[in-house]
A and B are shown apart, each in its own frame.
Chain A
Amino acid sequence: MPPDSSARVLIIGATSAIATETARTYAAYGARLFLTGRNGGRLEAVAADLRVRGARTVDTAVLDVTDHRRCQEVVEVAWAALGGLDVALVAHGVLPDQARCQASVADTVAALELNFSSVVALLTPLANRFEAARHGCIAVITSVAGDRGRQSNYVYGAAKGGLDRFLQGLRNRLHPAGVAVVTLKPGFVDTPMTAGVAKSPLFASSRRVGRAIHRAIEARRNVVYIPWFWRPIMFLITSMPEAVFKRLRL
C-alpha cells in the first residue's frame, strides 16, 4: 500500500542500525519523525541524516528507557510535538551475555528490565493514547529468540517471549479501537556488533530488515518474521517435543 507521506512516526531506540534504516524509509516519503535514543551525539547524527533524506520534520529526545517516568513523559512530548501519532515503533533492546546472567541475578534482572519492563513502560501510555485516538499502529521489535527458550540465550528469549504475549493481548484489546499492533521478529542481523564475524547465509542486512519493518507497519501486519524464511524455521523449532528439544545443544 502507498505509504502516507504525512505520517507522524515515533521511534524509540532510533540509533540502532535496524531502526535507522526504517526511519530512512519513512524519511524518503517525507514523514514527520520523533526519535529517541540514549546518546545525544548519535541521535543528532541520525536526525541530520533523516532531514537530508527528506523527512519533513525530525524532533529528538534523549531517553534512558529504564527511567519509566521519563518514558511516559517522552510519549506525551512526542504526541504533543507532532499533534498525535500514526506510528510508534519500539526498537530498543540489548543482547545480554547469557553466561554472565547465569552468574548474576542483577545482570539477569537488568536484561529483563531493558528488554521487557521498559518496553511495557512505553507501551502502556502509548496504548492508552492510541486507543483514545482510535487510530494508528504500534510496532515492536521482538525476536525469533522469543519463540522457544534455548540454553544459549534464554534470558533474552524469556524477555522477548514475554513481550510477544504482552503484544498478543494488546492487539486483542486495541483491535476494536482500530489500532494495529505489529510484532516484528527479526532473525540474525548484520549490525555493528557482528562486524568481522563470519556471516552465515541466515544473516540479513540491517537495511533489508529495516525496510521489511516499514512494509510490515504500512501493511498493518500482525506477526512478521524478518526475513520471511524464519517463519518455517521457527515452526520446525517450536514443533519439536520438549523431550527431544531438551537434549539438543542450541
Chain B
Amino acid sequence: MRPYRSWGRYPEATPSGVVPIVWRSEPPELGRLPGTVLPYACGRSYGDSCLNDGGFLLDVSRLDRLMEFDEERGVLQCEAGVTLAEILALTVPRGWFLPVVPGTRWVSVGGAIANDIHGKNHHRAGTFGGHVTRLELLRSSGERIACSPADELFRATVGGLGLTGLILWAEIRLKRVPGSGIAMERIRFADLEAFFDLATEDHAFEYTVAWVDCLARGRRLGRGIYLRGDHAAIEGQAPSPLRPAHLRVPADAPAGLLNRLTLGLLNEAYYRARLGSRRRVTVPYAPFFFPLDGVDDWTRLYGRHGFLQYQCVVPDASGGGPIRTIFERISRSGEPASLAVLKRFGDAPSPGLLSFPREGMTLAVDFAFRGSRTLGLLDDLDAVVRESGGAVYPAKDARMRPESFRAFFPGLDRFTVQRDPKFSSSFWRRVHAS
C-alpha cells in the first residue's frame, strides 16, 4: 500500500488496504474486513483524523451521485462522496447556495458532516450539520440506519470524525441567493482593538472574516485585513467551480522556503496590497470563499516536512483576553507563521456532540513543521485555550494530547457510546488512549 498524507502533509500513514465504495445499493460487508475502517474521500483534513495507519480506508470518492433536488424548496439529497464544488456547479445557476461553505470547495458532503464544518457566516448560519435534515449510516454490523436531527446517533455523527459508521447519503437544505456574486468590502485594520470594533458590525453581513499578520509585534500586533460581504447578482456567467486551478505547485519546495523572513514579507505585502484602506466591489463567489483553491497542491510550499494548522476557539473577552495572549505567544515564539484567519463565531449551538464551533473568537494559523519547536509552541497555546474553556479543531489537528481533547469536548462520553467499535482513525487512537 502507498502511504497516505492528509492536507497538512504531516503525519504520513499507511493503511492496510483501501476499499472503494461505489454503489449504495451494494454496501460492503465491513465486519469481514480485518482490523479497523475509516471513511475517506478528499483527504482535506489537515492532520490525522482522515488517516488510518494499519487499518482500512473506505474510499467514497466514487459514491458521488446526486439523488434528488427539490428546486422549489431547495432540498438536495446526494451520496456522501459528492464534493461541494459539484453541488455549487449544479445549484448556483439555479439560484441556490450551500448554507455553509469552508475555505475550499474540494471537500465531500460526508466530510463536511463528519467535521461539522463552519464558514464565514457562522455568526448567522451556524455549522454545516445544522442544515442536514437526514442521513443514512452503514454500521459495521451491516445495519443501515437512517437518522435525523432528533436522534442521538445523528448528533454523534455530525462532527463525529467518521467514527459512527459510513455515511451513505445525506439531505441538505440550501439557501436562496440573488446571483453568483459576492458584494464585498475589504477594510484594513491597524491592531486587534480595531478588529474588535469592526467585529461588532458582524451581524449586518452574511459573511465576515479577517486575515491577521501574526508576525507583527508590539503596536502592530493583530493588524490585518477584514473582509465582509453578502450574496449579490453579478453580470456574466460565473466560471464553473469544477474547473481545475490554473496554477499548481509541481513538487515539494525546499524545507524552510517559508520562513520567518519570507512569510514576514508575504504578510507585509498582503497588508499593503490594494492601496486605500477600504474597498467595495462585487466579485464571483469562488475567489471570495476559496482563494487557495486557485493554486493546486499549494501545501507543497511548506516542503516535505509539511505543516501544522492550528485552529482554536476561545471565549470573547473585553480587550481580547485569551486571543490576545495567543497572538502574543505566537509573535514572541519566533516560529514562522502564515497569515492567520480570525473570526467571531456566533452563539448558534452546534448540532454535534463533538462539534468544534462554539461562541467566541476562532483563530486558524499555519506553522511550517519544525519538530519539537513547533510542537512545544502548540502545547503552550493548548494550555491557554484549555484555561479559557475553549477548544482546538480536530479536523486540523495532528498533535493535541488526550487530556486536552477530553477537556475541549465535554460531549465525549456520550459520543463514545454511539461510536461504531469497528471504526477508528489515527487521530482517534492518539487522543483516546483507552
Contacts known (A52-B90, A195-B59, A196-B1); A45 close to B65, Cβ less than 8 A: yes
Q: Which residues of chain A are within 8 angstroms of B197 by Cβ–Cβ distance? A: none
Check A192–B65 contact: CB distance below 8 A: no
Which residues of B in the span 222-264 have a Cβ within 8 Å of any Cβ on A?
none
* A-binding segment of B18-26, B122-130, B198-206: B18-26
Question: Per-residue CB proximity of B52-87 to A under 8 Å, as 1/0?
Answer: 000000010010011111000000000000000000
Q: Give min CB distance, B340 to chain A, whole Å.
A: 35
Q: Pick the contact of A48 from B23, B59, B68 — CB < 8 Å?
A: B68
Check B69–A52 contact: CB distance below 8 A: yes
Q: How many A-B residue pairs have CB under 8 A?
A: 42
Contacts known (A192-B20, A198-B2); A41 close to B66, Cβ less than 8 A: no
Check A49–B1 contact: CB distance below 8 A: no
Count of chain B residues near A, Cβ 8 A: 18
Q: Which residues of chain A are within 8 angstroms of B23 by Cβ–Cβ distance? A: 41-42, 45
Q: Give min CB distance, B278 to chain A, whole Å.
A: 40
Q: Which residues of chain B are within 8 angstroms of A42 by Cβ–Cβ distance? A: 23, 25-26
Q: Give min CB distance, B91 to chain A, whole Å.
A: 10
B17, CB-defined interface residue at 8 Å: yes
Task: Please name the residue on chain A nearest to B78 by beta carbon.
Answer: A52
Check B90–A53 contact: CB distance below 8 A: yes
Count of chain A residues near B, Cβ 8 A: 15
Q: Pick the contact of B65 from A49, A54, A196 — CB < 8 Å?
A: A49
Q: Which residues of chain A are within 8 angstroms of B69 by Cβ–Cβ distance? A: 52
Q: Which residues of chain A are within 8 angstroms of B1 by Cβ–Cβ distance? A: 196
Check B65–A46 contact: CB distance below 8 A: yes
Check A196–B67 contact: CB distance below 8 A: no
Query: Which of A17, A42, A44, A196 has the most chain B CB atoms closer than 10 A to its own CB?
Result: A196
Contacts known (A48-B67, A49-B65, A52-B90); A196 close to B17, Cβ less than 8 A: yes
Q: Give min CB distance, B140 to chain A, whole Å.
A: 20
Task: Please name the residue on chain A nearest to B15 by beta carbon.
Answer: A196
Q: Which residues of chain A are within 8 angstroms of B62 by Cβ–Cβ distance? A: 17, 192, 195
Task: Please name the residue on chain B nearest to A43 by beta carbon.
Answer: B25
Check B66–A48 contact: CB distance below 8 A: yes
Check A53–B2 contact: CB distance below 8 A: no
Q: Which residues of chain B are within 8 angstroms of A44 by Cβ–Cβ distance? A: 25
Question: Per-residue CB proximity of A201-215 to B under 8 Å, as 1/0?
Answer: 000000000000000
What's the Cα separation between A54 and B2 when bound, in Å? 38
What's the Cα separation between A52 and B86 when bound, in Å? 12
Check B66–A196 contact: CB distance below 8 A: no
Check B25–A195 contact: CB distance below 8 A: no
Task: Please name the residue on chain B nearest to A193 by beta carbon.
Answer: B20
Check B22–A53 contact: CB distance below 8 A: no
Question: Per-residue CB proximity of A171-200 to B under 8 Å, as 1/0?
Answer: 000000000000000000000100110100
What's the Cα separation between A63 and B381 when bound, in Å? 62
Task: Please name the residue on chain B nearest to A48 by beta carbon.
Answer: B67
What's the Cα separation between A17 and B61 when bound, in Å? 12
Check A52–B66 contact: CB distance below 8 A: yes
Q: Which residues of chain B are within 8 angstroms of A49 by Cβ–Cβ distance? A: 65-67
What's the Cα separation between A44 and B62 when bound, in Å? 16
Q: Give min CB distance, B228 to chain A, whole Å.
A: 33
User: Which 8 pairs across A and B sit closest by C-beta, in order of nearness?
Assistant: A41-B25, A196-B18, A49-B65, A52-B66, A195-B20, A192-B20, A52-B69, A192-B22
Q: List 9 A-B contacts (CB under 8 A).
A: A17-B62, A41-B23, A45-B23, A46-B65, A49-B67, A52-B67, A54-B90, A195-B62, A196-B59
Chain B residues within CB distance 8 Å of chain A: 1-2, 17-18, 20, 22-26, 59, 62, 65-69, 90
Chain A residues within CB distance 8 Å of chain B: 17, 41-42, 44-46, 48-49, 52-54, 192, 195-196, 198
Additional A-B contact list (7), CB under 8 Å, known A195-B20, A195-B62:
A41-B23, A44-B25, A49-B65, A52-B90, A53-B90, A54-B90, A198-B2
